[in-house]
Structure 1
Amino acid sequence: MGILVWLIVGGVCGWLASIIMRTDAQQGILLNVIVGIVGALLAGFIISPMVGVGTINEGISVATFLVSLLGAVILLAIVNLFRRGSVR
């Protein structure tokens, strides 16, 4: 059940992050899911302990979703920085 939650939440977070960072036209659904999952993983290690919010594994709430979304946005910003030379 956990993998299914990761795929769904990762897909939604990756899709929203790509809309926020204006890279939606360049990414497909698979890349959105990957960005969402990796972004949520990074957020779980870095952002969650700083703000005291749990991760998606502990339960889905607005706070855990926002932390995962923030991680995906940060991941896309880092990718854009290396690919284009600007965060955009």
Structure 2
Amino acid sequence: MIWSLIVGGLIGWLAGIILGRDVPGGVIGNIVAGLVGSWLGTALLSDFGPSLGGMAIIPSLIGAVLIILIFSWIARKMG
């Protein structure tokens, strides 16, 4: 469980770097984006490529990028 949180945080952080923006919520936002992104990416793209902590890296990263884009869009619309 702790390993999944660490990997989720790293995936969320990498997705933020790819997009060139901070994830809303800081470290907690990174973890949420990574975990939800992992679920979304795996659901949409299956689990292919290397995995770490039970998460397929490539689909997880793609999913986290999508989650960050959605979070950023919602935050911009609300504020």
Please give the TM-score of this superposition, normalised by the length of structure 2: 0.74
Residue in 2 aligned with 1:71?
63
Q: Which 10-residue stretch deviates more, 76-85 or 25-34?
A: 76-85
Deviating 4+ runs (over 4 angstroms) = none
Tell me by how many angstroms 1:25 deviates.
6.9
Q: Decide whether aligned partners of structure 1 residues 10 and 25 sit closer, same or farther in structure 2, where only a CA change above 3 A counts.
A: closer
Change (3 A) 1:80 1:28: closer
Q: Which amino acid aligns with 1:65?
A: I
Cα gap change, 1:66/1:25 in structure 2, threshold over 3 Å: closer, same or farther? closer
Task: Give me the TM-score of the superposition, normalised by structure 1.
Answer: 0.67
User: Take 1:31 and 1:77, find their aligned partners in 2: how far apart are those partners?
Assistant: 12
RMSD in angstroms over aligned alpha carbons? 2.8
Q: Unaligned regions of 5+ residues in structure 2, if any? A: none
Deviations 1:42-75, CA, capped at 9 Å, x for gaps: 1121111xxx627x9xx539xx212111110011
Q: Which structure has the bigger radius of gyration?
A: 1
Q: CA deviation at 1:40?
A: 0.3
More strand by share: 2
